[in-house]
């Protein structure tokens, strides 16, 4: 089955063709970072307009790169939610229309299910069941994954998501949007011994997270050292302490989730799973606990069309599809996916 995937939940237009026999046939990604950078965050209306501009040319490009024509396509998958309502509608409307005109089924996919499943395209691929750590700009969740669509949320952030905390802390350090990768790059020059940030909610039982206090801690540290001569080093040291605190907290809760469930496989996904500090920490955890750790390649951690094509393909193969009366779901919990 050859599936066209369309991702437009936020500020990336992602298109891909995935074939369950041949794998990823082609992919194209347009990032709107430059559009939103001057506003310091995503402007929803601009995001929708940019998706509309880019969707058709990118689909044409993916068809050309793959050597496919519309008659080769067996289904169209699009991101149904969660995400920005206008942005979701651009992809959903085009996907639904293409599927109608090509006379193939269309299916709305849960964006986080796309993130969660895309590590299964790597070699080696994780087998069910596993614990998934989903860390993106909007979500931080620990999920027990027993199979396709069988997701139990074990814990999640009660306030800011990990990516959101990275972005907000980066902003207060004067770094450009989106701050996560920039803060992480800056942290490489930081002294890990200088500041110690808290590990939120690790002293309490349970698997929930809270990251909003860390940005306040970063702000206070920044203000308390205003007289430092070397401001760049100060920024890097704060970035380092922040990153270590987020990574250590995530690892602590992963360990607890593995212990609680008795599972031996851990899979990370979502934008923050591209973070090198987190990846290094997981390698340490792997050696320490004798577990298996899986992660997508960095380009598939952040939003992309492949994850939607792949999750869509798995579900279309089960015979799922949506009728012509499509809808998007800006807020949508993974637990209500079926």
Judged by the rule CB under 5 A, the positions of this chain that interact with Zn ion are 136, 303
Of these partners, Zn ion, ligand KG4, none, which one is at the site of residue 178 (CB under 5 to 8 Å by kind)? ligand KG4
Where do runs of H (alpha helix) occur along the chain? Answer: 33-37, 44-66, 85-102, 111-117, 162-172, 179-187, 212-224, 231-261, 276-289, 305-317
CB 160 within 8 A of CB 212: yes
Binds ligand KG4 (CB under 6 A): choice among 75, 81, 105, 178: 178
Shortest Cβ distance from residue 203 to ligand KG4 (Å)? 25
Shortest Cβ distance from residue 142 to ligand KG4 (Å)? 16
Q: Partners of 7 in the beta sheet?
A: 14
The residue length of the chain stands at: 338
Nearer to Zn ion, 66 or 132 (CB): 132
Q: Which of 336, 302, 300 is nearest to 9 (CA)?
A: 302
Of these partners, Zn ion, ligand KG4, none, which one is at the site of residue 82 (CB under 5 to 8 Å by kind)? none
Nearer to Zn ion, 2 or 8 (CB): 8
Residue 50 engages ligand KG4 in binding (rule: CB under 6 A) = no
Would you give the DSSP letter of residue 274? G
C-alpha to C-alpha distance for 32 and 310, rounded to whole angstroms = 23
Residue 274 engages ligand KG4 in binding (rule: CB under 6 A) = yes
Shortest Cβ distance from residue 210 to ligand KG4 (Å)? 17
Enumerate residues 6+ apart whose C-beta is below 8 A from 266: 130, 131, 132, 133, 254, 258, 282, 285, 291, 292, 293, 294
Binding part of the chain for ligand KG4, among 64-72, 99-107, 158-166, 284-292 by CB under 6 A, reads 158-166
C-alpha to C-alpha distance for 176 and 158, rounded to whole angstroms = 26
Of these partners, ligand KG4, Zn ion, none, which one is at the site of residue 166 (CB under 5 to 8 Å by kind)? ligand KG4
Q: Which of residues 77-136 bind ligand KG4 (CB under 6 A)?
A: 136
Shortest Cβ distance from residue 317 to Zn ion (Å)? 23
Q: What are the backbone dihedrals phi and psi of residue 131, each rounded to the nearest 5 degrees, phi first?
A: -95, 130
Would you give the DSSP letter of residue 322? B
Binds ligand KG4 (CB under 6 A): choice among 303, 305, 307, 316: 303
What's the distance, Cα to Cα, between the start and end of the chain in Å?
22
Q: Partners of 106 in the beta sheet?
A: 76, 322
Binds ligand KG4 (CB under 6 A): choice among 275, 305, 307, 309: 275
- At which residue do the structure tokens 């979502």 appear? 270
Binding part of the chain for ligand KG4, among 72-80, 172-180, 306-314, 323-331 by CB under 6 A, reads 172-180
Helix (H) or strand (E) holding 155: strand 150-156
Binding part of the chain for ligand KG4, among 49-57, 197-205, 225-233, 272-280 by CB under 6 A, reads 272-280
Nearer to Zn ion, 270 or 277 (CB): 270
User: Site residues (CB under 6 A) for ligand KG4?
Assistant: 10, 136-138, 163-164, 166-167, 178-181, 184, 270-272, 274-275, 302-303
């Amino acid at each position: 089955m050859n599936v066209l995937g369309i991702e437009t939940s936020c500020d990336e237009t992602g298109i891909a063709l995935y074939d369950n026999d041949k794998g990823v046939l082609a992919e194209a990604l347009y990032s709107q970072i430059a559009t939103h950078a001057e506003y310091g965050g995503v402007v929803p209306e601009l995001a929708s307009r940019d998706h509309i501009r880019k969707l058709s040319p990118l689909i044409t490009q993916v068809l050309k790169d793959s050597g496919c024509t519309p008659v080769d396509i067996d289904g169209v998958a699009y991101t149904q939610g969660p995400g920005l309502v206008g942005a979701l509608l651009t992809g959903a409307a085009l996907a639904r229309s293409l599927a109608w005109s090509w006379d193939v089924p269309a299916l709305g996919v849960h964006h986080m299910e796309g993130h969660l499943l895309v590590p299964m395209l790597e070699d080696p691929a994780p087998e069910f069941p596993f614990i998934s750590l989903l860390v993106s700009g909007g979500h931080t969740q620990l999920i027990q994954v027993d199979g396709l669509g069988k997701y139990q949320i074990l814990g999640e952030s009660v306030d800011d998501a990990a990516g959101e905390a990275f972005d907000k802390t980066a902003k207060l350090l004067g770094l450009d949007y989106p701050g996560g990768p920039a803060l992480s790059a800056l942290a490489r020059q930081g002294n890990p011994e200088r500041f110690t940030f808290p590990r939120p909610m690790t002293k309490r039982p349970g698997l929930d997270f809270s990251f909003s206090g860390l940005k306040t801690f970063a702000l206070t540290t920044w203000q308390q050292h205003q007289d430092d001569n070397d401001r760049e080093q100060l920024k890097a040291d704060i970035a380092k302490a922040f990153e270590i605190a987020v990574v250590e907290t995530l690892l602590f809760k992963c360990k607890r989730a593995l212990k609680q469930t008795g599972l031996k496989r851990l899979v990370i996904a979502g934008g923050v799973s591209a973070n090198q500090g987190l990846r290094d920490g997981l390698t340490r955890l792997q050696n320490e606990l004798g577990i298996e750790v899986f992660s997508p390649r960095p380009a598939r951690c952040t939003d992309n069309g492949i994850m939607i094509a792949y999750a869509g393909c798995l579900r279309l193969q089960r015979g799922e599809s949506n009728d012509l009366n499509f809808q998007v779901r800006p807020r949508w919990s993974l637990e209500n996916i079926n």
